[in-house]
Structure 1
Amino acid sequence: MHMSGIELRNGVLVVGREPNHLDELAIQFSNLLEGFDIDHVYIAGYVSILAGRARSTEDVDVLIEKIDETTADELASALADEGFWGAAMPLDSLYEMLANGDNIWVAPDGQVTPHLEVKFARDEFDQASLKNAITARIGDETIPIGPLELQIAYKLYLGAEKDLEDAVHLYTMFEESLSVGRLEEWVSRLNVTEEYERLKRS
C-alpha cells in the first residue's frame, strides 16, 4: 500500500481520500454525461493529480464522444440547470465550438478556475483513451480516466517539462501494475522510444 493510499488494482485506480473540489467538478460532470449516455474520459494533468502528484491545474481535461447538435443543446441546458456556465464562451455555443474542433470551458457559475475543458475525441489517441478507459474510484464515487500506459506515452510525446514530470510520476508510481506491452506499443506508435528509454532510467 502506498503512503498516499493510491493504487492501481485490477485496472481500477483507487484514490484513498475524500473527493476535493476538482474531483467534485469531475464527478458532477460525469454524472450529467451519464444521464445522456455520452461516452467520456478524463485525461492529462488531472489524472496525474488523481494519482497523487502535487501540482496545481486550472483545467480538468475531458474527452467526449462526438454527439449531435440536439444532444449538445440538451446537454447545455442540463449544465445550466445544474449551475454551470461557459467560462469562455456561452454554453449554447457548445455544439458549434466542439464541432469546430475547439474546446469549451465549463465551470460552476461565476468562476473561471478550476474549469472543465471539454472536447470531442478526434484522433486515434483520443479514441483509444475513450475505448480503453479505466475507472478511478474517489471515495464512493467513480469516473472514467484514460489508460495510464497511453497517458504516460502521450506525456512523453508532448514533451514539455510538466508533461515529462507527469510521465515520471505515473511511471514510478505504477511501474509494478502497468502493462509493459501496452506501454511499449503506445511508445512506438507515438515515436517516443528515446524518451521512454530515459524514463526507464529516471
Structure 2
Amino acid sequence: MDQSKMKIEFNDNEIILYKKLSIIDYLVLDFSEILARNNIRYVLFSRYVSILFGNNETNEEKEERKDIDILIQNISFEKFLKLWLEIERSYECKNTGDPIDAYNAYLKNHHAVRIAKKDNQIPEFRIKIVKNEMDRFTLKYRKKIILGDRNLFISPLEMQIPYNLFKGSPKDIDDARYLYKLSREKLNITMMERFLGELKIPKESIDAYLKI
C-alpha cells in the first residue's frame, strides 16, 4: 500500500486510520462485528496488524493461506453456542461441525477454533481464549482502531512488536521493524521494553532490528 494515501492519528486508546479498505479489511471488520454483537471482548494480533497498517505483502505471501489471529475472553459454553449459531449462517468451522466439540476439545484446550466464510475460504479466523498473564494484558489494553464509521480492536503495538520479534521469521521481523518505524514516536517505550524482556528478546536483536 502507498503510505502517502494513508493517514494515522494516534490518540490515548484509539488510533484513527484514514485508508482505502482492502477486501481482507472488510472481511475482518464483518467478523469482528459479530464478536462485538455477542458481547465478546476480543483483540486481533499477529500478521494482520501489520497488514492493517499498510505493510505490503510479498508475492509469495499472497499465495499463502491467510490466518487472522483473534484472542477472546474466557467465555461460557452458552455464550459460545450463541456465537456459533450466528456465525454458522455464513461461516463454517474447519475443525469440527459440532459446537460442543469445538468448545471443549479446541477452545478450552487453548487450540485455535478455525472459522472461514462458506463462500470464501480465505482468510481463516483462528480464535483462541486467553491462556496467561500476557494474553490477559493484551486483551485488557487492546487498542481501538477507527476506520470511518466502523472499528475493530488490535493488540497494543508495545506488545505486538516484541511478539513479532519473538516469532522470529523474516516476515515477522519485517513486521516488527515496520510497526516500530511507523509508530515509534507514539510508543510507550518503557512498556515495550518490559515485554521485550519478558519474551527474552536478545539485546543484539533489539539493536539490530529496532535501534531503540
Query: Normalising to structure 2: TM-score of the pair?
Result: 0.87
Match of 2:91 among 69, 81, 84: 84
2 CA distance for matches of 1:139 and 1:200? 31
* Post-superposition offset of 1:134: 0.5
Give the aligned partner of residue 178 of structure 1.
Answer: 187
Give the aligned partner of residue 30 of structure 2.
Answer: 28
* Post-superposition offset of 1:193: 4.1
- Aligned pairs for 1:52-91 (under 5 A) are 52-55=54-57, 56=62, 58-81=66-89, 83-90=90-97
* Post-superposition offset of 1:91: 5.9
Taking structure 1 as reference, are residues 22 and 132 closer, same or farther at Cα in structure 2, changes over 3 Å only?
same
* Post-superposition offset of 1:130: 0.3
Q: Does 1:197 align with 2:198?
A: no
State the one-letter code of the partner of 2:72. Answer: I
Using the aligned pairs only, state the percent identity. 25
* Post-superposition offset of 1:127: 1.3
Match of 1:40 among 31, 42, 45: 42
2 CA distance for matches of 1:179 and 1:193? 20
Gaps of 5+ in 1: none
Q: Structure 1 segments of 4 or more deviating over 4 A?
A: none
Gaps of 5+ in 2: none
Aligned alpha-carbon RMSD (Å): 1.9
2 CA distance for matches of 1:200 and 1:109? 40
1 CA distance for matches of 2:19 and 2:98? 32
1 CA distance for matches of 2:116 and 2:158? 29
Worse-matched range after superposition: 72-81 or 83-92: 83-92
* Post-superposition offset of 1:168: 0.6
Give the aligned partner of residue 7 of structure 1.
Answer: 8
Taking structure 1 as reference, are residues 112 and 89 closer, same or farther at Cα in structure 2, changes over 3 Å only?
farther
Q: Does 1:124 align with 2:133?
A: yes
Match of 1:149 among 155, 158, 165: 158
What SS class does the counterpart of residue 143 from structure 1 fall into? strand
Taking structure 1 as reference, are residues 125 and 8 closer, same or farther at Cα in structure 2, changes over 3 Å only?
farther
Worse-matched range after superposition: 162-171 or 27-36: 27-36
What SS class does the counterpart of residue 177 from structure 1 fall into? coil
State the one-letter code of the partner of 1:17. Answer: K
Give the aligned partner of residue 122 of structure 2.
Answer: 113
Task: Count how many residue pairs are aligned between Structure 1 and Structure 2.
Answer: 200
Taking structure 1 as reference, are residues 150 and 51 closer, same or farther at Cα in structure 2, changes over 3 Å only?
same
Deviations 1:112-148 (A, max 9, x none): 2112111112122221110110011223210010000
State the one-letter code of the partner of 1:89. Answer: T
Deviations 1:146-202 (A, max 9, x none): 000100011111111111111011011111111111111111111114222222339
Taking structure 1 as reference, are residues 95 and 161 closer, same or farther at Cα in structure 2, changes over 3 Å only?
same
Give the aligned partner of residue 162 of structure 1.
Answer: 171
Give the aligned partner of residue 149 of structure 2.
Answer: 140
